[in-house]
Structure formats: structure tokens, C-alpha cells
Structure 1
């Protein structure tokens, strides 16, 4: 089941919105590749944190 900004896994609820949105994007792509949901969520969340670390926010960015 694909997720979106309003409907996402409970495990993502405490993530910063920017990280959560990227995790949703990555997890959805992994689902399309055939990953099972739990694995897609875990990998998506980890990769979103890595992405956030490598793409610093600018103070004019909006959440």
C-alpha cells in the first residue's frame, strides 16, 4: 500500500516532516521494487536520515 503525507506508517509519526516525506518517497519506491512493507519502512527511514544529513536545510526552506 503506497503511503502519502496524510497516511503513513505509525513508525514515521515522530520524524521531522522533511525526513518523513523523504522516507515515504523512498519506502514507496521500494514497495514498487517488490520489498515487503516492514523492510521498505526501515530502509526508507534510514535512507531518509542519510539524505537529510547530506542535504542541509537552508533557512528559506519550507517544511
Structure 2
């Protein structure tokens, strides 16, 4: 089940919108591969989204 900006897992509800939107994008991509179950997909997507957004901030400051 693909997630959207309006329908996403509860685990993503308290994330900042930039991180949540990136996590949704990543989670949907992972789900397409079918390699992880839903719980692992959510956890991986949140972790990667936080990392990606943090790295974007570092690149802009340079």
C-alpha cells in the first residue's frame, strides 16, 4: 500500500514535514522492491530521511 502526504504510518506523524515527506518517498520505493516487511520499511525510511535532510542542511551551509 503506497503512502501519501495525507495517509502515512503513525510512526511518521511527529516528524517534521520535510523529513516525513522524504520518508514517505523512500518507504514507497522500498515497498516496490518487496525486500522488507512494512515495519522494517518504515524504520529504514525514517532513518534514511533524517540522514538525507541533515546532509542537505550541511551542503547548503558550505
Q: TM-score, normalised by structure 1?
A: 0.86
Residue segments in structure 1 that go unaligned for 5+ positions in a row: 59-63
Matches within 5 A, 1:14-25: 14-25=14-25
TM-score norm. by structure 2 comes to 0.88
Q: Which runs of 4+ in 1 moved over 4 A?
A: none
- RMSD between aligned alpha carbons? 1.4
SS of 1:2 mapped into structure 2: coil
